[in-house]
């Protein structure tokens, strides 16, 4: 390492220390931001000194959870550096690298738009691509742009880099076509398939000829076993398959992972098919990095969710369950985990900050309808509680079962009051509402600040 980089790293660390002490968000991005500003090439050099190299993880949905799962697996055998707080731009990766002294392996969650540059700078051994969904309606058109930029970045990867793709996503399967070193993963359990594609589905037209795909099974949005009736483009054979899936409501899931190294039965303390996808992604990356199936199973079974995406919090005799909803596909999956048992009290919190999507009309693409007839009471909250309430009434929720409480703290207290002792309160927040909620619970001493959360 050059003297200049050493100096910059020291400076960045000092700023991180100050930032943490000042309570400005755990200092998770500031040191990297500084280093990134002073000398972007420092990222290349810091990444290059990791003897076991770098693995990158990107996706629209689930990248934080997938990365945290893979970290849990890989940290059993390797000294690992990873961007654990979801700081997933180049500056966040720089921050993780700044404190990577003595690490062997780097594991980084990467924002979809930042992936090409992250690939160019860190020269990864493994690149994992999970899915591409439209985030919110005001970002319409970005999906095609991101897919095109990913395609170019993948084309530039050297042969020895292993590409891990979710082959249930037609766009990603197509990206991997013709590459030497690929691991394709997906689901195979038609019992859990949707009868028809939900209207929020994103890539339902053939990537080759534009004809609508026919699905033998659609699992989450447009992810599934597809085939084009016109040109024959279809889901390729899978290398890592999750099958015999058992979902137990909001608590857990069990499934068998069939891999080139054999089969293993996994019990995961997370609900929903989308977390089975996350586990299959983490498994594939770990296999590519040399982990055994025993190590992978131990890591997955010891995993507890990345903060906020899915979380159970004890609050006296009541339990708060938080499921992040950040776009139509993610919201549909969260709601789908509720269909097996709709909780008596539900809070939905809709904000419209930039991170949530400022155009909230995406809520009209969310399938609230199956849940509404069974909900005892729904508290609509957040900055756009009124639009949300309108959406729910339009979806058939009787007015007497709806309460509109825009203030998040007041909504939380009202919902806790409505929840019986021993009962479960489910909260579905958008991203900034989730952060605010987390802040309220931290201030009350119910949960620790997230950068202190043990894993
Ligand atoms: Zn076709």
> How many Å lie between the centroid of ligand 1 and the Cα of residue 235?
12
Same structural domain, 201 and 258: yes
Q: Which of the listed residues 301, 321, 347 is the one where a domain comes to its end? A: 301
Q: What is the pTM of this model?
A: 0.77
Q: Where are the beta strands (DSSP E) in 228-344?
A: 240-248, 252-259, 262-268, 310-315, 318-323
Distance in angstroms (rounded) separating the CA atoms of residues 326 and 283: 25
Q: Which of the listed residues 301, 324, 347 is the one where a domain comes to its end? A: 301
Distance in angstroms (rounded) separating the CA atoms of residues 423 and 416: 9
Q: What is the CATH number of the domain that holds 47?
A: 3.40.1190.10
Same structural domain, 270 and 404: no
- Residue 453 is predicted with a pLDDT of 36
> How many Å lie between the centroid of ligand 1 and the Cα of residue 249?
36
Q: What is the CATH number of the domain that holds 431?
A: 3.90.190.20
> How many structural domains is the chain composed of?
2
Q: Which of the listed residues 301, 335, 362 is the one where a domain comes to its end? A: 301
Same structural domain, 295 and 317: no
Same structural domain, 342 and 448: yes
Same structural domain, 98 and 147: yes
> How many Å lie between the centroid of ligand 1 and the Cα of residue 122?
35
> How many Å lie between the centroid of ligand 1 and the Cα of residue 151?
19
Same structural domain, 290 and 326: no
> How many Å lie between the centroid of ligand 1 and the Cα of residue 155?
22
> How many Å lie between the centroid of ligand 1 and the Cα of residue 203?
12
> How many Å lie between the centroid of ligand 1 and the Cα of residue 170?
11
Q: Pull the structure tokens for residue 359.
A: 């155009």
Same structural domain, 241 and 108: yes
> How many Å lie between the centroid of ligand 1 and the Cα of residue 204?
11
Same structural domain, 297 and 362: no
For residue 71, give its domain range: 3-301
Distance in angstroms (rounded) separating the CA atoms of residues 110 and 320: 29
Same structural domain, 289 and 370: no
pLDDT tens per residue across span 181-199 = 999 999 999 999 876 665 5
Same structural domain, 321 and 222: no
For residues 427-442, one letter each, b for 16 or more C-beta atoms within 10 angstroms of the residue's C-beta and e for the rest, the string is bbbbbbbbbbbbeebe
Same structural domain, 124 and 217: yes
> How many Å lie between the centroid of ligand 1 and the Cα of residue 232?
6
Q: What is the mean pLDDT for each group of 10 consecutive residues in the chain (455 residues)?
A: 68 58 46 75 90 96 91 95 83 87 94 95 97 66 86 95 97 95 97 71 81 91 93 97 90 93 94 92 98 96 69 82 84 79 89 85 86 90 95 92 96 95 91 90 71 35
> How many Å lie between the centroid of ligand 1 and the Cα of residue 274?
26
Distance in angstroms (rounded) separating the CA atoms of residues 330 and 327: 5
- Residue 177 is predicted with a pLDDT of 95
Same structural domain, 177 and 297: yes
pLDDT tens per residue across span 391-420 = 999 888 999 999 999 999 999 999 999 999
């Amino acid at each position: 390492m050059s003297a200049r980089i050493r100096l910059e790293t020291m400076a960045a660390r000092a700023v991180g220390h100050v930032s943490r002490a000042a309570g400005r968000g755990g200092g998770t991005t500031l040191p990297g931001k500084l280093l990134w500003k002073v000398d972007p090439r420092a990222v290349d050099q810091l990444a290059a000194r990791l003897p076991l190299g770098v693995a990158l993880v990107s996706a629209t949905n689930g990248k934080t959870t997938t990365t945290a799962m893979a970290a849990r697996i890989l940290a059993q055998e390797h000294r690992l550096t990873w961007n654990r707080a979801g700081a997933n731009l180049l500056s966040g990766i720089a921050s993780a690298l700044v404190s990577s002294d003595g690490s062997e392996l780097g594991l980084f969650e990467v924002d979809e738009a930042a992936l090409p540059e992250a690939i160019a700078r860190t020269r990864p051994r493994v690149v994992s691509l999970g899915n591409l969904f439209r985030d919110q309606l005001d970002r319409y058109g970005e999906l095609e742009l991101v897919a095109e930029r990913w395609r170019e970045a993948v084309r530039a990867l050297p042969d020895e880099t292993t590409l891990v793709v979710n082959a249930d996503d037609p766009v990603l399967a197509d990206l991997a076509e013709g590459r030497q070193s690929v691991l394709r993963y997906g689901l195979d359990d038609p019992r859990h398939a949707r009868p028809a594609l939900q209207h929020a589905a994103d890539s339902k037209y053939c990537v080759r000829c534009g004809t609508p795909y026919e699905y033998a099974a659609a699992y989450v949005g447009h992810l599934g076993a597809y085939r084009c009736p016109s040109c024959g483009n279809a889901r390729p054979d899978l290398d890592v398959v999750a099958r015999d899936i058992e979902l137990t409501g909001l608590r857990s899931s069990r499934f068998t992972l069939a891999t080139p190294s054999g089969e293993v039965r996994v019990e995961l303390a997370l609900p929903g098919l989308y977390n089975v996808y996350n586990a299959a992604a983490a498994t594939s990356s770990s296999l590519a990095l040399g982990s055994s199936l025993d190590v992978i199973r131990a890591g997955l079974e010891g995993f507890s969710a990345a903060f906020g995406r899915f979380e159970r919090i004890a609050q006296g005799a009541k339990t708060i369950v938080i499921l992040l909803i950040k776009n139509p596909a993610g919201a549909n999956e969260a709601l789908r985990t509720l269909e097996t048992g709709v909780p008596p009290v539900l809070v939905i919190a809709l904000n419209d900050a930039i991170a949530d999507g400022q155009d909230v009309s995406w809520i009209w693409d969310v399938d609230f309808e199956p849940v509404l007839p069974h909900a005892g009471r729904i508290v609509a909250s957040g900055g756009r509680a009124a639009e949300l309430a309108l959406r729910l009434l339009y979806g058939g929720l009787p007015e007497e079962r709806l309460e509109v409480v825009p203030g998040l703290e007041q909504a939380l207290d009202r919902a806790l009051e409505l929840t019986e002792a021993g009962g479960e309160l489910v909260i579905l927040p958008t991203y900034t509402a989730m952060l605010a909620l987390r802040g309220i619970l931290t201030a009350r001493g119910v949960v620790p600040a997230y950068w202190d959360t043990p894993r």
